[in-house]
Structure 1
Amino acid sequence: MIAPYLLLASVASASLAAPAAFAQDDAAPADTAVEQRGDVIIVTARRRQETAQEVPLAISVIRGDSIEATGNFNVVKLQQLAPTLQVYTSNPRNTSVNIRGLGVPFGLTSDGFEQGVGIYVDDVYNSRVAAATFDFLDVEQVEVLRGPQGTLYGKNTTAGAINITTNQPTFDFEGRAELTVGNLNLKQAKAAISGPLSDTIAARIAVASTSRRGTIFNTTTDRWINEQDNLGLRGTILFKPSEDLSITLSGDYSKQDPEGYGTLFVRTGATQRAPARQYDALVAAINAANPGRNYAVPSRNPYDRLTDIDASLNAGNKIGGASLKVNWDLGAGKFTSVTAWRFWDWKPENDRDFTGLSIVSRSQNPSQQDQYSQEFRYSQEGETIDFVVGLFGFKQRIDTQGTEQQGADASRWSLTGALAGDPAVLEGLTASNTQWLKSTSAALFGQLSWKVTDALTIQPGARVNYDKKSGYYQRVVTNGAGQAINCTPTPAAGSILAAQCGIYQPQISAPSDSAWNFTYDFNVNYKLARDVLAYATYAKSFKTLGINQNGLPLNADNSVNYDAGTVKPESVNHFEIGLKTQFWNRRATFNLTAFRTDIKNFQATVNGGQFGTVRGYLANADKVRTQGIEADLKIAPSERLSGYANAAYTDAKYKKFTNAPCPPELSGGTLQPAGATPDYSNAGIPNTLSPRACDISGQSLPGVSKWAFSYGAEGNLPVTLLDKEGQVYLGVDGNYRSRWNSNASPSIYTNVKGYALTNVRAGFRGEGFDVFGWVRNVFDVNYLELLQVAPGNTGLIAGQPGDPQTWGGTIKISF
Structure 2
Amino acid sequence: MNKSTFNTASAIALAAAALAGPAVAQQATAVEEVIVTAQRSSQNLQQVPLAVTGYSGAFLERSKIEDFNDLRTRTPSLTFEQFAPGQPRYTIRGIGGGGGVAVFVDDVYMGQPSMSSVEFVDLERVEVLRGPQGTLFGRNATGGAIAFFTEKPGSDYRVKAKATVGNYDLKSVSALISGPVSDVLSAKISVIAREHSGYAFNETTGRDIEDETLAAARAALRFRPNDDWDIQLNIDGSTRRGTAPWWDLMIEAPKSAGKSNPEPRRGRNHTDDGYADIDNAGVSLNANWDSPIGTFTSITAFRNTQSHNRANTTGLLVAPLSDVANRRVNFHTLFIQQADQKAEQFSQELRLAADLGDRFKWIGGLYYYQDDGVANRLTDYRFYGFGPTPVDGRYAYASTNETKAFAAFMSGTFALTEQLKLQAGIRWSHDEKDHTTVASGKNFSGFRDGGVSVPGYSAASSADWSAWTPTASINYQVTPDVFVYGTISRGFKSGGFSDGDSEKQSILRPFNPEFVWNYETGARTEWFDRRLRVNATAFYMDYTDLQVSVFTQLAPNLPAVLVSGNAGKAKIKGFELEWNAVPIEGLNLYGNYTRTESEISALISGANNLAGKKIPRAPENKFFMGASLARDFGGMTATGRVDYTYQSDYFSSINNVPSERVLAQENWDAGLTMGPAGGAWSVEVWGKNLANELHVVSISDILGDAFANYAPPRTYGVTLSYRH
TM-score of the pair, normalised by structure 1: 0.80
2:309 counterpart letter in structure 1: P
2:621 is the counterpart of 1:647: no
Matched, 1:812 2:721: yes
> Following TM superposition, by how much is the alpha carbon of 1:154 offset from its aligned partner in structure 2, in angstroms?
5.2
Q: Secondary structure of the equivalent of 1:533?
A: strand
What is the aligned partner in structure 1 of residue 691 from structure 2?
779
Alignment match of 2:628 (pick from 691, 714, 736): 714
Q: Which amino acid aligns with 2:144?
A: G
More strand by share: 2
Q: Check the 8 A contact 1:313/1:349 in 2, yes or no.
A: yes
Shift of 1:260: 1.3
Residue matched to 1:519: 469
**Is 1:371 equivalent to 2:328 in the alignment?**
no
Partner of 2:281: 320
| Equivalent position of 1:201 in the other structure | 185
The Cα shift of 1:339 comes to 0.2
2:434–2:463 Cα contact (<8 Å) kept: yes
Kept after mapping to 1: 8 A contact 2:693/2:714: yes
In the alignment, does 2:635 pair up with 1:660?
no
Amino-acid identity (%): 26
Mapped contact 1:74–1:132 kept (Cα < 8 A): no
Per the TM alignment, residue 459 of structure 1 is displaced from its structure 2 partner at its CA by 0.2
Q: Is the Cα contact below 8 Å between 1:141 and 1:164 reproduced in 2?
A: yes
Cα separation, 1, equivalents of 2:693 and 2:512: 42
Equivalent residues in 2 for 1:202-601, closer than 5 Å: 202-270=186-254, 278-280=255-257, 297=260, 299-302=261-264, 305-357=266-318, 360=334, 362-381=336-355, 382-406=357-381, 410=382, 412-413=384-385, 415-416=386-387, 420-421=388-389, 429-477=393-441, 505-548=455-498, 550-554=499-503, 560-562=504-506, 565-601=509-545
Distance 2:443 2:139 in 1: 44
1:800 to 692, 709, 721: 709
For the residues of structure 2 that align with 1:602 and 1:76, how far apart are their CA atoms? 25
Q: Deviations over 1:21-73 (max 9, x none)?
A: 99xxxxxxxxxxxx963543211111111111011111111122322333321
1:149, CA displacement in angstroms? 1.5
Check 1:470–1:486 CA distance in 2 against 1; reply closer, same or farther (3 A cut). Answer: closer
Contact residue 394 and residue 442 of structure 2 kept, 8 A: yes
Q: Which residues of structure 2 form unaligned runs of 5+?
A: 1-24, 319-331
Q: AA paired with 1:607?
A: F
CA 411–779 in structure 1, closer or farther in 2 if over 3 Å, else same: closer
Q: CA deviation at 1:743?
A: 2.4
Alpha-carbon distance change, 36 to 177 in structure 1, aligned in 2, over 3 angstroms: closer
Which residue does 1:28 correspond to in 2? Answer: none
- The Cα shift of 1:750 comes to 1.5
Match of 1:624 in 2: 570
| Worse overlay, 259-268 or 146-155 | 146-155
Deviations 1:495-518 (A, max 9, x none): xxx9xx8xxx51322232101111
Q: Per-residue deviation at 1:262?
A: 2.7
Q: CA deviation at 1:324?
A: 0.6
Look up the match of 1:45.
38
Aligned to 1:764: 674
The residue type equivalent to 1:535 in the other structure is: Y
Partners of 2:204 and 2:582 in 1: CA distance: 53
Question: Which amino acid letter does the alignment assign opposite residue 278 of structure 2?
Answer: N
Contact 2:159/2:176 (<8 A) preserved: yes
Larger radius of gyration: 1
Mapped contact 1:154–1:390 kept (Cα < 8 A): no
Equivalent in the alignment of 1:118: 102
Please say if residues 309 and 355 of structure 1, whose CA atoms lie closer than 8 Å, have aligned partners that are also in contact: yes
* AA aligned opposite 2:713: P
Residues 472-493 of structure 1 deviation map (CA, whole Å, 9 limit, x = unaligned):
001122699xxxx9978999xx
Q: 1:608 aligns with which of 536, 547, 552?
A: 552
Aligned residue for 1:80, secondary structure, equals helix
Aligned match of 1:673 = none
Equivalence for 2:641 = 731
The worse-fitting range, judged by mean Cα deviation, of 230-239 and 62-71 is 62-71
Give the Cα separation in 2 of the matches to 1:583 and 1:488.
66
Tell me, in whole angstroms, the C-alpha distance in 2 between the residues paired with 1:487 and 1:632. Answer: 52
Matched residue SS, 2:367: strand
Give, in angstroms, the shift of residue 613 of structure 1: 10
Counterparts of 1:655 and 1:488, CA distance in 2: 32
The aligned amino acid for 2:430 is Y
CA spacing shift, 1:445–1:218, aligned 2, 3 Å: same
Bigger shift: residues 229-238 or 560-569:
560-569
Residues of 2 paired with 1:54 and 1:343: CA distance?
Answer: 37
Q: C-alpha distance in 2, partners of 1:447/1:613?
A: 49
Which residue in the other structure is 1:495 paired with?
A: none
- Once the two structures are TM-superposed, the CA of residue 439 in structure 1 deviates from its matched residue by 0.5
How much has 1:609 moved relative to structure 2? 4.7
Residues 759/708 of structure 1: CA separation in 2 closer, same or farther (3 Å cut): same
8 A Cα contact 2:201 2:208, kept in partner:
yes
Report the Cα distance in structure 2 between the residues aligned to 1:583 and 1:562, rounded to whole angstroms.
Answer: 57
RMSD: 2.6
Matches within 5 A, 1:56-205: 56-104=49-97, 113=98, 115-153=99-137, 155-205=139-189
36-45 vs 796-805, which moves further: 36-45
Distance 1:520 1:727, change over 3 A: same
Matched residues in 1 for 2:586 and 2:135: separation? 42
Q: SS at 1:66's partner residue?
A: helix
| 1:445-464 CA-partner distances (Å, limit 9, x unpaired) | 11100011011000001001
Letter in 2 for 1:655: S
Q: CA deviation at 1:527?
A: 1.2
Deviates more, 1:506-515 or 1:526-535: 506-515
The CA deviation at 1:268 is 1.4
* Gap change, CA 1:244 and 1:386, over 3 Å in 2: same
Number of aligned residue pairs: give it.
681
The 8 Å contact of residues 154 and 391 in structure 1, kept in 2 or not, is answered as no
Q: 1:751-801 CA distances to partner (integer Å, 9 max, x unpaired)? A: 1111211111112144323211112222222332221123xx2x2211113
1:605-664 deviation line (CA, Å, top 9, x unaligned): 11125699994221111101111010011111222211112000011221111x225xxx
Answer whether contact 1:150 1:445 (CA < 8 A) is retained.
Answer: no
User: Aligned equivalents of 1:450 and 1:717: distance in 2?
Assistant: 47
Aligned letter for 2:605?
A
Q: Shift of the alpha carbon at 1:269? A: 2.7
The aligned counterpart of 1:290 is none
Post-superposition offset of 1:86:
0.8
| SS, match of residue 365 in structure 1 | strand
After superposition, the Cα gap between the structure-2 partners of 1:311 and 1:595, relative to the gap in structure 1 and judged at 3 Å, is same
In structure 2, the CA distance between the partners of 1:250 and 1:21, relative to structure 1 (3 Å rule), is farther
Aligned CA distance change for structure 1 residues 262 and 185 (closer, same or farther; 3 Å)? same
CA drift at 1:137 = 3.1
Deviation at 1:267, TM superposition (A): 1.4
Counterpart of 1:29 in structure 2 is none
Q: Does the Cα contact within 8 Å between 1:36 and 1:585 map onto a contact in 2?
A: no
Equivalent AA in structure 2 for residue 647 of structure 1: Y
**Shift in Å, 1:359:** 5.6
For residues 583-608 of structure 1, give each alpha carbon's deviation from its aligned partner in whole angstroms, at most 9, with x where no partner exists: 11221111110001111111011112
Tell me which residue corresponds to 1:274. Answer: none
SS of 1:637's equivalent in the other structure is coil
| Residue type of the alignment partner of 1:354 | G
| Counterparts of 1:261 and 1:346, CA distance in 2 | 14
More RCO (CA 8 Å, sep 6+):
1
Q: How far off its partner does 1:171 sit?
A: 2.1
Q: Is the 8 A contact 2:674 2:682 kept in 1?
A: yes
